Amino acid sequence: MPVRETVEIGLNRFARRGYDLDEVSIVPSRRTRDVDDVSTAWQIDAFRFEIPLVTSASDAVVDPATAIAVGEAGGLGVLNAEGLWTRYDDPAPVYRRIREASADGAPPVALLQEVYAEPVKTDLITARVKELRDSGVTSAVRVSPQHTQQLAPAVLAAGVDLLVIQGTIVSAEHVTTSGDALNLKEFIADLDVPVVVGGAADYQTALHLMRTGAAGVIVGVGADSWSTGDAVMGVRVPLASAIADAAAARRDYLDETGGRYVHVIANGRIETSGAVARALACGADAVQLGEPLRRATQAPAGGVWWDSVAAHPRLPRGGASPAVAPAGTLQEVLFGPARSADGRTNLFGALARTMAKTGYRDLKEFQRVDLVIGG
Amino acid sequence: MPVRETVEIGLNRFARRGYDLDEVSIVPSRRTRDVDDVSTAWQIDAFRFEIPLVTSASDAVVDPATAIAVGEAGGLGVLNAEGLWTRYDDPAPVYRRIREASADGAPPVALLQEVYAEPVKTDLITARVKELRDSGVTSAVRVSPQHTQQLAPAVLAAGVDLLVIQGTIVSAEHVTTSGDALNLKEFIADLDVPVVVGGAADYQTALHLMRTGAAGVIVGVGADSWSTGDAVMGVRVPLASAIADAAAARRDYLDETGGRYVHVIANGRIETSGAVARALACGADAVQLGEPLRRATQAPAGGVWWDSVAAHPRLPRGGASPAVAPAGTLQEVLFGPARSADGRTNLFGALARTMAKTGYRDLKEFQRVDLVIGG
Amino acid sequence: MPVRETVEIGLNRFARRGYDLDEVSIVPSRRTRDVDDVSTAWQIDAFRFEIPLVTSASDAVVDPATAIAVGEAGGLGVLNAEGLWTRYDDPAPVYRRIREASADGAPPVALLQEVYAEPVKTDLITARVKELRDSGVTSAVRVSPQHTQQLAPAVLAAGVDLLVIQGTIVSAEHVTTSGDALNLKEFIADLDVPVVVGGAADYQTALHLMRTGAAGVIVGVGADSWSTGDAVMGVRVPLASAIADAAAARRDYLDETGGRYVHVIANGRIETSGAVARALACGADAVQLGEPLRRATQAPAGGVWWDSVAAHPRLPRGGASPAVAPAGTLQEVLFGPARSADGRTNLFGALARTMAKTGYRDLKEFQRVDLVIGG
Amino acid sequence: MPVRETVEIGLNRFARRGYDLDEVSIVPSRRTRDVDDVSTAWQIDAFRFEIPLVTSASDAVVDPATAIAVGEAGGLGVLNAEGLWTRYDDPAPVYRRIREASADGAPPVALLQEVYAEPVKTDLITARVKELRDSGVTSAVRVSPQHTQQLAPAVLAAGVDLLVIQGTIVSAEHVTTSGDALNLKEFIADLDVPVVVGGAADYQTALHLMRTGAAGVIVGVGADSWSTGDAVMGVRVPLASAIADAAAARRDYLDETGGRYVHVIANGRIETSGAVARALACGADAVQLGEPLRRATQAPAGGVWWDSVAAHPRLPRGGASPAVAPAGTLQEVLFGPARSADGRTNLFGALARTMAKTGYRDLKEFQRVDLVIGG
Per-residue pLDDT tens digits for C69-88:
999 999 999 999 999 999 99
- Inform me whether the pLDDT recorded for B5 exceeds 70: yes
**Average pLDDT score over residue span D48-61:** 98
The whole-angstrom distance between residue D14's C-alpha and the CA centroid of its chain comes to: 30
Please tell me whether residue A144 adopts helix, strand or coil conformation: coil
Choose among B170, B200, B310: nearest Cβ to D341: B310
What local confidence, expressed as pLDDT, does residue D335 receive? 98
- Asked if B200 reaches chain D (Cβ–Cβ under 8 Å), the answer is yes
Give domain status of residue B6, yes or no: no
Query: Å from A236 to nearest chain C CA?
Result: 15
Residue B14 predicted with pLDDT over 60:
yes
Q: Which of D30, D248, D350 sits opposite B205 (nearest CB)?
A: D30
- Residues in chain A with pLDDT < 70? 1-4
How many domains in chain C? 1
Calculate the dihedral angle through the C-alpha atoms of C367, C371, D2, D6, rounding to the nearest 10 degrees. Answer: -110
* Contact state of C342 with D241 under an 8 Å Cβ cutoff: no
> Among A28-32, A156-160, B56-60, C43-47, which is the least confidently predicted range?
A28-32
- B185-198 tens-digit pLDDT: 999 999 999 999 99
Interaxial angle between packed helices C122-135 and C64-72, expressed in degrees from 0 to 180 and rounded to the nearest 10: 30
- pLDDT surpasses 60 at C374: yes
Which residue of C171, C205, C310 is in closest CB contact with A341? C310
Which helix (DSSP H) or strand (DSSP E) does residue D276 occupy?
A: helix D273-281
Residues ≥6 apart with Cβ < 8 Å to C372: C24, C25, C26, C27, D15, D16, D17, D18, D236, D237, D238, D241
pLDDT digits (tens, 9 = 90+) for D79-129: 999 999 999 999 999 999 999 999 989 999 999 999 999 999 999 999 999
Given a cut of 70, is residue D149 above it in pLDDT? yes
Q: Is residue D3 part of a domain?
A: no
Distance CA A289, CA A61 (A): 10
Instruction: Please state, in angstroms and rounded to a whole number, the distance separating the CA atoms of residues A163 and A289.
Output: 17
What pLDDT is stored for residue D2 in this prediction?
58
* B365 vs D93: CA distance, rounded Å: 72
Look up residue A140 and give its amino acid.
Answer: A
Out of B29, B276, B358, closest to residue A204 by CB: B29
- Which of C175, C239, C314 comes nearest A33 by C-beta? C175
Task: Find residues 314-373 of chain B whose CB sits inside 8 Å of chain A.
Answer: 336-343, 346, 349-350, 353-354, 357-359, 370-373
Q: Does B16 touch chain A (CB under 8 A)?
A: no
A303: left (phi over 0), alpha (psi -120 to 50) or beta: left
In angstroms, the CA B139 to CA B132 distance is 6
| Cβ–Cβ below 8 Å for D175 and C34 | yes
CB distance from D146 to chain B under 8 Å? no
With 70 as the cut, is the pLDDT of residue B3 above it? Answer: no
Q: Domain range for residue C140?
A: 21-373
- Asked if D276 reaches chain C (Cβ–Cβ under 8 Å), the answer is no
pLDDT for residue B2 is more than 70: no
Determine contact: C90 vs chain D, CB below 8 A: no
C315 → closest Cβ in A32, A277, A346: A346
The Cα–Cα gap between D226 and D239 comes to 16
Closest residue in chain A to residue B19, using alpha carbons only:
A9
In a domain, C130, yes or no: yes
Contact A333, A296 (CB under 8 A): yes
Query: Does some domain include residue D39?
Result: yes
CATH number for the domain harbouring residue D368: 3.20.20.70
Contact flag D231-C273 (C-beta cutoff 8 Å): yes
CB spacing of D273 vs B20 below 8 angstroms: no
Chain D 96-135, residues with CB within 8 Å of chain C CB atoms:
108-110, 113
Q: Could you read off the pLDDT of C315-372 as tens digits, one per residue?
A: 999 999 999 999 999 999 999 999 999 999 999 999 999 999 999 999 999 999 999 9
Q: What is the mean pLDDT of residues B120-148?
A: 97
Residue B1 reports pLDDT greater than 60: no
C179 pLDDT higher than 90: no
Of B9, B168, B177, the CB nearest to D24: B9
Q: What is the pLDDT of residue B184?
A: 93
Which tens digit of pLDDT belongs to each residue from B62-117? 999 999 999 999 999 999 999 999 999 999 999 999 999 999 899 999 999 999 99
Provide the angle, in degrees to the nearest 10, between the axes of the packed helices C122-135 and C148-157.
Answer: 40
Average pLDDT, chain D: 95
- CA torsion angle for A21, A27, A31, A34 (degrees, to 10)? 50
Q: Do B30 and A177 touch (CB under 8 A)?
A: no
Chain D hits for C340, Cβ within 8 Å: 108-110, 316, 319
A366 belongs to a structural domain: yes
Reported as a pLDDT band with limits 50, 70 and 90, residue C2 is low
Least Cα distance to C213 among C237, C245, C187 occurs for C187
Q: Which of residues 245-274 of A touch C (CB under 8 A)?
A: 245, 247-248, 251, 272-274
pLDDT at B223 over 90: no
Look at residue B10 and give its three-state secondary structure.
Answer: strand
A283/C10 touch (CB, cutoff 8 Å), yes or no: yes
Angular region, D220: left φ>0, alpha ψ -120 to 50, beta rest: left
> Does C33 contact D at CB distance below 8 Å?
yes
Give residue-wise pLDDT tens across range C88-141.
999 999 999 999 999 989 999 999 999 999 999 999 999 999 999 999 999 999
The reported pLDDT for the residue numbered A221 is 85
Determine how β-strand D47-49 pairs with β-strand D42-44.
Answer: antiparallel
Task: Give me the percent of chain C exceeding a pLDDT of 70.
Answer: 99
Q: Decide if B293 contacts B327 (C-beta within 8 A).
A: no
Q: Let me know: does B190 contact B251? Beta carbons within 8 Å.
A: no
- With respect to residue B177, please indicate whether it lies within any of the assigned structural domains: yes
Tens of pLDDT, residue by residue over D255-303, are 999 999 999 999 999 999 999 999 999 999 999 999 999 999 999 999 9
State the average pLDDT for chain C: 95
Q: Which chain B residue has the Cα nearest residue A112?
A: B339
- Res. C1: pLDDT tops 90: no
Q: Check pLDDT > 70 for residue B8.
A: yes
Top mean-pLDDT range of A307-311, B182-186, C61-65 = C61-65
B7 belongs to a structural domain: no
Does the interface ipTM go beyond 0.85? Answer: yes
Strand, helix or coil for residue B44: strand
Residue D19, pLDDT > 70, answer yes
**Predicted local distance difference test score (pLDDT) of residue C334:** 98
Percent of chain B past pLDDT 90, that is, above it, reads 93
A159 is a domain residue: yes
Pairing of strands B24-26, B371-373: antiparallel
Q: Does C204 touch chain D (CB under 8 A)?
A: no
Question: Strands B53-55 and D47-49, how do they pair?
Answer: unpaired
